[in-house]
Amino acid sequence: MGMVGNSLSATSITTNLETRFIGQKVIYYPSLTSTMEVAKREAHQGAAEGTVIIADEQTAGKGRMKRVWLSPTGSIALSVILYPDVTYLPSLVMLASLAVVHSIEAVTGLKAQVKWPNDVLINGKKVCGILVESEVRRNIVGYAILGIGINVNLRLADFPEILPIATSLSDELGREVLRLDLVRRLLVEIERLYLALPAGGTIYEEWRDRLVTLGKRVSVKWGTTRYEGMAESVARDGSLLLRHSDGSLTKIVAGDVTLRD
Ligand code: BTN
């Protein structure tokens, strides 16, 4: 899109970044298969906590449930390496979606929402996807990687396959957004929320209150199973509680939600 000053680099992200560890080390690639792959390799080699892998473009971006994630130039694709206590793992998805919501609101003024479990929407359309992958052995976290993909400066009209369900910040705003500002703000937010985890409570509560899903009739697909019901609430571990028409309740750990009304 060639907007002057809208390029990313490791130094432009780290310089005077007001964090203690998130984003203090950034590894930048103009083009990469997937930041998740590099982040895992770096984590295995003992990368410092908070190390960020970021790419201008991914050629094999990974989505949830083995889907492909489109991330052409103009989007943000990054992964953050963390070494949290195992008890914080379920909170990472909530933390990542809130950090994205806060930074989008701060940088663009657009109002963002969360769709269970971890899609960020603007005006009902997906603007960001989050993928958390971790390695846990005997209850010890080897690593956890937060993967965040945001449609920033994209014309969705150029991507007809996702046009009906997706949007971008530039399409919503009618102008381009400085990716650097958004990335830096996002890293500050991630650290703030991550450091707040031991205090408990607040991240879960804010995530729950931001969910557009609750109180709605939904259909949830997980593998080959489909559940229908009223999205009643979410548990502290992030799972969704679905009330069926016969009064029974199902607890759903993962899945794809379609809103019915
Ligand atoms: C989803 O909604 O299915 C999750 C999409 C996650 C995409 C991000 S982009 C940065 C990181 N690298 C990847 O390959 N995937 C995640």
Three-class SS state of 21: coil
In sequence order, the 6+-apart residues with CB closer than 8 A to the CB of 20 are 50, 191
pLDDT tens digits for range 53-109: 999 999 999 999 889 999 999 999 999 999 999 999 999 999 999 999 999 999 999
Q: Is 118 in the pocket of ligand 1 (CB under 6 A)?
A: no
The pTM (predicted TM-score) of the whole model is: 0.95
Nearest residue (CA) to ligand 1, atom 7: 149
Average pLDDT, integer, range 23-42: 97
pLDDT tens digits for range 186-201: 999 999 999 999 987 7
Tokens representing residue 218 in the block? 């939904």
pLDDT tens digits for range 215-248: 999 999 988 899 999 999 999 999 999 999 999 9
Q: Is 147 in the pocket of ligand 1 (CB under 6 A)?
A: yes
Using the 8-state DSSP alphabet, how is residue 260 labeled? -
Q: Is 117 in the pocket of ligand 1 (CB under 6 A)?
A: no
Average pLDDT, integer, range 141-152: 98
Report how far residue 197's alpha carbon sits from residue 76's, in angstroms, rounded to the nearest whole number. Answer: 25
CA–centroid distance, residue 76 to ligand 1 (Å): 10
pLDDT of residue 261: 66
Q: Is 97 in the pocket of ligand 1 (CB under 6 A)?
A: no
Q: Is 47 in the pocket of ligand 1 (CB under 6 A)?
A: no
pLDDT of residue 202: 85
pLDDT at 2 over 60: no
Report how far residue 31's alpha carbon sits from residue 59's, in angstroms, rounded to the nearest whole number. Answer: 7
Q: How confident is the model at residue 1 (pLDDT cuts 50, 70, 90)?
A: very low
Is residue 64 a contact partner of residue 129, using CB atoms and an 8 Å limit?
A: yes
pLDDT tens digits for range 33-63: 999 999 999 999 999 999 999 999 999 999 9
Is residue 213 a contact partner of residue 115, using CB atoms and an 8 Å limit?
A: yes
Q: What is the DSSP string of 126-151?
A: EEEEEEEEEEEETTEEEEEEEEEEE-
Q: Is 146 in the pocket of ligand 1 (CB under 6 A)?
A: no
